[in-house]
Amino acid sequence: MAASGVTYLEVRYPAMTVDPASDVVRWVKEGEHLFRLTLGRLQAAADLQARVDALAGENKNLREANQELRRELDLLRGERLEAAESFKALAEHVTRLATVAIQRLGRAGPSGAGAGP
């Protein structure tokens, strides 16, 4: 621990043996192992990045489809409103016709004679 209160990570390596050649062989083997681990991690990261890219593309497509569906929904709501207004106008017209027919029938009397305005 330093005087400033900061802790440093201390890495200890095995002491060199009497045979430097065996140390070099061990280091090379450890280096190869670490290199394979690093390559594996890099490949995993590349695979994950490819998956992220694929999901981002799918997300973009889904957002576009969602927007298209929202536009279609807005159109259908407008058409539904127009249809409702048309049915309302038709119902009002039928009501007026029925009222006129009832009034004419009422003037005609119970015998049915004297029909006409």
User: What pLDDT is stored for residue 4 in this prediction?
Assistant: 62
Residue 5's identity, in one-letter code, is G
> Dihedral sign, CA of 86, 88, 94, 96?
negative
Runs of H (alpha helix) within the chain? 20-108
**The tokens of 74 are what?**
């807005």
> Higher-confidence residue: 85 or 115?
85
Whether residue 7 contacts residue 1, with contact meaning beta carbons closer than 8 Å, is answered with yes
Which tens digits make up the pLDDT trace of 10-55?
A: 767 666 667 888 888 989 999 999 999 999 999 999 999 999 999 9
What residues have CB less than 8 Å from 2, skipping those under 6 apart? 8
User: What pLDDT is stored for residue 1 in this prediction?
Assistant: 46
pTM over 0.85: no
**Residue in the block written with tokens 């005087």:** 3
Mean pLDDT of 48-65: 98
Find the largest Cα–Cα distance for the chain. Answer: 136
